[in-house]
Amino acid sequence: METSKSGSSSFPATASITYADKTVTYPVITGTEGERGIDISRLRSDTGLITVDQGYGNTGSCQSAITYIDGDQGILRYRGIPIEEFAGNPDFIEVAWLLIFGRLPTSTESTRFRARLTANAHLHEAMKHTFEGFPASAPPMAIMSAMINTLGCFHPEMYLIKDEEIFEEAAARLISKIRTIAAFTYRRVNGLPYIYPNPKLRYCDNLLHMMFSMPYDQRVADPEISLAMNLIFILHADHEQNCSTSTVRMVGSSKANLFASCAAGVCALWGPLHGGANVEVLEMLGQIHQGGLTAEKYIEMAKQKGSGTRLMGFGHRVYKNYDPRAKMLQSVCEKVLKKLNLRDPLLDIARKLEELALKDQYFIERKLYPNVDFYSGLIMRAIGIPTNMFTVMFAIGRLPGWVAHWKEQHDDANSKIARPRQIYTGPVNKHYVPMDSR
Ligand code: CMC
């Protein structure tokens, strides 16, 4: 591949590909942070070739103005604002609005959006019967995905987003009701009575109330615990083209509605290599704690190819440095345990694993550092959230990101249905054989 320089930019503005005796030249697109990508949209029609990039590690599926990550330097920014700046004041709803609408809300916009969330916190009573239809053993992520799709059935007028007003209402419904769905899922799986949302409570307090109150005993969350939950949600709110967000965009590209697209996102998030890793981290720590294994032995197993073991909560497709979210969560984890006066032996094991991995050549060479899932589960466990609800909490946090990406794609006049190509490797020109001749 050759490149050609242009104008004032110090980087070439085009790239040329030579194959057989033909050379084609394509524009190089540059983002606001200087990231560059070759626009190969004419490649197949010009040459008959396609690109092959399993796992899409080198493929840009879209141009997006929502989140910026520099994985080498460990930088994460929402709409240009560094993630570290969210550690102090803002709440999750403000960050959700920022991601979805592109700027921080004014006080009028914030009040209006909050009022929409409050008005939408309840689920239709008929949905309670749907919850009852699930066995108590149902995985919470299966319930959540099904219920988000079911939610759409109660708001069919929102299948078609005709204007900004309908979109804002649909976004508020989803963001508010996902919290009630999560709490009702927990109550269903544990055979507990459903607790209705309290309009006087803020987002995280209301979630903790619906999960942990009893009809005869209203639980008021400690403000520090509520803040920790708020930060967990903020840190999970978006992460550009990750597996679940790409899924939401893929489904949305067929013009599927917002509810269906986000339900698909929940399914993608469920996997252990994505959001489900927070469950796997706790299982790994529990396994070591129960004594079958030591931290040293676990690290050795994680390094062995074919052992089927990975150091869960370590490594990232994009970060080749410390995930900035992991750093922030580590410090919140220490604070929450101190506040609750808890000493969790699993935190000691996590610290030990981190210490061993960070000085081990295998992890250093592959640039494997703790990711967002390494400490988040320990915080949730301290708060009393059971392991099987961890990925559900991740989904609540990630929803604003999914909604923001769905909107960005929906508003893009040039958006196309996502339809990758393949290199076919199956049998060639075989014939059908009738059953009695096989
Ligand atoms: N433990 C041991 N080895 C690892 C790990 C790990 N956690 N992660 C990657 N490697 C090795 C891998 O075996 C490979 O080695 P080699 O070059 O010798 O074949 C090399 O590092 C590159 O790994 P990869 O699988 O090609 O990298 P990827 O970018 O496809 O995968 C990942 C990224 C996150 C799926 C992977 O690091 C992983 O499985 N981590 C554990 C699961 C986890 O914590 N997932 C949460 C990700 S963050 C939250 C989210 O976005 O959902």
Question: Ligand 1: which of 301, 312, 316 to mutate, most ligand atoms within 8 Å of CB?
Answer: 316
- In this predicted model, what pLDDT tens digit does every residue of 216-228 receive, in sequence order? 999 888 999 999 9
Beta bridge pairs of residue 3: 15
Contact yes or no for 371/316 (Cβ under 8 A): yes
- In this predicted model, what pLDDT tens digit does every residue of 43-64 receive, in sequence order? 999 999 999 999 999 999 999 9
* Predicted TM-score of the model (pTM): 0.93
Share of the chain above pLDDT 70, in %: 98
- In this predicted model, what pLDDT tens digit does every residue of 392-414 receive, in sequence order? 999 999 999 999 999 999 999 99
Contact yes or no for 75/82 (Cβ under 8 A): yes
- Residue 284: pLDDT above 50? yes
Question: Ligand 1: which of 317, 360, 369 to mutate, most ligand atoms within 8 Å of CB?
Answer: 317
Ligand 1 in reach of 315 Cβ (< 6 A): yes
Share of the chain above pLDDT 90, in %: 90
Please give the pLDDT value at position 292: 76
Provide the pLDDT confidence category of residue 7 given band limits of 50, 70 and 90. very low
Q: How many Å lie between the centroid of ligand 1 and the Cα of residue 60?
A: 20
Ligand 1 in reach of 299 Cβ (< 6 A): no
- Residue 433: pLDDT above 70? yes
**Separation CA 398–CA 96 (nearest Å):** 9
Chain mean pLDDT for the chain: 94
Tokens of 70: 């520099």
Q: How many Å lie between the centroid of ligand 1 and the Cα of residue 56?
A: 15
- Residue 9: pLDDT above 70? no
Q: Return all residues near 348 (Cβ < 8 A) that are at least 6 apart.
A: none
Please give the pLDDT value at position 1: 52
* Closest atom of ligand 1 to CA, residue 242: 51
Provide the pLDDT confidence category of residue 322 given band limits of 50, 70 and 90. confident
* Closest atom of ligand 1 to CA, residue 310: 1
Ligand 1 in reach of 242 Cβ (< 6 A): yes
* Closest atom of ligand 1 to CA, residue 315: 37
Q: For residue 171, what is the enclosing H or E element? A: helix 164-189
Q: How many Å lie between the centroid of ligand 1 and the Cα of residue 317?
A: 7
Nearest in space to 207 (alpha carbons), one of 174, 231, 234, 181? 181
- Residue 24: pLDDT above 70? yes
- Residue 258: pLDDT above 90? yes
- Residue 123: pLDDT above 60? yes
Is 316 one of the annotated active-site residues of the chain? yes
Question: Of 3-12, 101-110, 412-421, 424-433, where does mean pLDDT reach its minimum?
Answer: 3-12
Nearest in space to 403 (alpha carbons), one of 159, 109, 104, 101? 101
Helix axes 107-119, 92-101, angle to 10 degrees: 110
Given the residues 155, 239, 274, 316, select the one marked as catalytic. 316
- Residue 309: pLDDT above 60? yes
Please give the pLDDT value at position 202: 94
Provide the pLDDT confidence category of residue 6 given band limits of 50, 70 and 90. very low
- In this predicted model, what pLDDT tens digit does every residue of 70-91 receive, in sequence order? 999 999 999 999 999 998 767 9
Mean pLDDT, rounded, for 180-199:
96
- Residue 4: pLDDT above 50? no
Mean pLDDT, rounded, for 243-269:
98
Mean pLDDT, rounded, for 189-201:
96
**Separation CA 68–CA 329 (nearest Å):** 20
Q: How many Å lie between the centroid of ligand 1 and the Cα of residue 305?
A: 12
* Closest atom of ligand 1 to CA, residue 302: 2
Please give the pLDDT value at position 220: 87
Please give the pLDDT value at position 77: 97
- Closest residue by Cα to atom 12, ligand 1, is 366
Is 373 one of the annotated active-site residues of the chain? yes
**Separation CA 302–CA 313 (nearest Å):** 12
Mean pLDDT, rounded, for 147-171:
93
DSSP code of 56?
A: G
